[in-house]
Amino acid sequence: MTPRKKTKKRRKAIKYKVITIRITSRQYKSLSNFSKSRRTTPNKIIKKAIKPLMSNYTGLEVNKAPVKVNQLELFNLE
């Protein structure tokens, strides 16, 4: 009997989310010209631009509005 080959541990798949933004035709032309001059894609340019802003907020807790005193328990969602 030959020994079994060890299989590599499968990596967890990365989940992506789609975000749609609307830009004017002039902005699109500017973005495409900029990306061509840098020899990259517009998507990578946008990701690189917002990366410093988004990396600081991964662990941020969002504060909810306090419940008013005269609020009915029926509408309290907690």
For residue 5, what pLDDT is reported? 77
The CA distance from 33 to 23, in Å, is 15
For the chain, the average pLDDT equals 84
Confidence grade of residue 42 (pLDDT, cut at 50, 70, 90): very high
Q: Which two tokens stand for residue 1?
A: 């009997």
pTM given for the model:
0.58
The whole-number pLDDT of residue 62 equals 76
Task: Please list, in sequence order, all residues whose beta carbon lies within 8 angstroms of the beta carbon of residue 35, skipping any fewer than 6 positions away.
Answer: 41, 42, 44, 45
Q: How far apart are CA 67 and CA 70, in angstroms?
A: 9
Cα–Cα dist 45/35, whole Å: 7
